[in-house]
Amino acid sequence: MVADLLRGFVKEDWIKELDFSTLEKASGSYVSDDLRDRHDDIIWRIRWKNVQGNHQNSAWLYVYLLIEFQSSVDWFMAVRIMTYVGLLYQDLIRSKAVKTNEPLPPVLPIVLYNGDPRWQAPADIADLITPAPGGLERYRPHLHYLLLDEGSYHEHELAELRNLAAALFRLENSRTPEDVQQVLQALIAWLQSPQQSNLRRAFTIWLKRVFLPGRMPTVAFDEIQDLQEVTNMLSERVKDWTKNWKQQGIEEGLQKGLQKGEAGLLLRLLEWRFGAVSEAISARVKQADSPMLELWSKRILTAQTIEEVFAD
């Protein structure tokens, strides 16, 4: 899955220089409890095909995969990424995986996001920091993360890829039982070999414990043990599934409409009270959920500045 994620979605030439046969989880002794407790199996490492230099650590690229499964965008994600990359480097130094006078290995930070609002948060920590005058500007940190926003990909883009990560994105984005069935048929064909039995089982468990209950909350899926059983069940109950999914789509549409109206009203109130609203604040309001919009609306009554409305 990680190999397909890198091959299919990191559109940069240097990917061709990686030796994918060496890809491995980097959750060993050099990852501290502080970091491991937050993100256990998402730090990976992979060797370069041809490495110049005498340092062992220079042969590796570390992949920091942060999975962001939440309904709203984290505006300050770049700050979190800077912290996690710093912790990873600190652990490599503490464990002596990197010694004094040796260079640190490169790190690729990836944010995988599957929420409904499209991601608009800055992807570089520098864009969150006020520019400073004169020579002070050179001290502003720069650290960019790679965003993979599942919902921003079109079906035709993903369907063209024989790629397990793309299949997962297609399932997340699916709107009808027929969409799911099409992806399942492809997965069954791709995951036939005995070496892929664990991955096939992982897809099955995710479908019956997470994905399907979210789409069909009144149906029990305990008996499903394999991907083929999922597609068989889907064929047998396609009318019931379609009815449920259509109803779910209507409810989601109503909720999105209400949320959009609340955001629009809040922006007008902010303009009346404080004047023109910046693009950053406007984007933050549009991505917020209903409880947060309600909190900010109440704060307008007592806030003396627009910053007080959005204070943490």
| Long-range contacts of 234-238, Cβ-Cβ distance < 8 Å, separation of 24 or more | 234/177, 234/180, 234/181, 234/184, 235/181, 238/177, 238/178
Report the candidate in 261, 257, 251, 209 with the shortest Cα–Cα distance to residue 230. 209
Q: How confident is the model at residue 241 (pLDDT cuts 50, 70, 90)?
A: low
pLDDT band at 82 (very low <50, low <70, confident <90, very high): very high
Residue 52 above 80 pLDDT? no
Task: Give first-to-last CA distance, the chain, whole Å.
Answer: 37
Maximum CA pair distance of the chain? 69
Which of these, 254, 282, 280, lies nearest to 269 by C-alpha position?
Answer: 282
pLDDT of residue 247: 57
Residue 28 confidence (pLDDT) above 50? no
Confidence of residue 181 (pLDDT cuts 50, 70, 90): confident
Q: What is the Cα–Cα distance from 114 to 151, expressed in whole angstroms?
A: 6
Amino acid at 112: L
Structure confidence at residue 30 (pLDDT): 45
pLDDT, tens digit (0-9, with 9 covering 90-100), for 269-301: 888 888 888 888 888 888 887 788 888 888 888
Tell if the pTM clears 0.75, that is, is over it: no
| The pLDDT of residue 26 | 82
The pLDDT of residue 29 is above 50: no
Lowest mean pLDDT among 130-134, 145-149, 185-189: 130-134
In sequence order, the β-bridge partners of residue 67 are 112
Residue 44 makes CB contacts below 8 A (sequence gap 6+) with 2, 23, 24, 25, 26, 62, 63, 65
Nearest to 11 by CA among 133, 141, 153: 153
Average pLDDT estimate for 9-19: 92
pLDDT of residue 58 exceeding 70, the answer is: no
What lies within 8 Å, CB to CB, of 148 at 6+ separation is 5, 9, 110, 111, 112, 113
Share of the chain above pLDDT 70, in %: 84
Q: Which residues contact 86 (CB under 8 A, 6 or more apart)?
A: none
Query: Which amino acid makes up residue 304?
Result: Q
pLDDT of residue 79: 93
Condensed to tens digits (0 to 9), the pLDDT of residues 107-133 reads 999 998 888 788 889 999 999 998 888
For residue 144, the 8-state DSSP code is B
> Is the four-CA dihedral 175, 177, 180, 185 of positive or negative sign?
negative
CA 14 → CA 10, 100, 222, distances in Å? Answer: 9, 27, 44
CA distance 1 to 120: 26
The whole-number pLDDT of residue 5 equals 92
188 neighbors 167 (Cβ within 8 angstroms): no
Span 93-116, average pLDDT: 88
Quick one: CA dihedral 228, 230, 234, 236, positive or negative?
Answer: positive
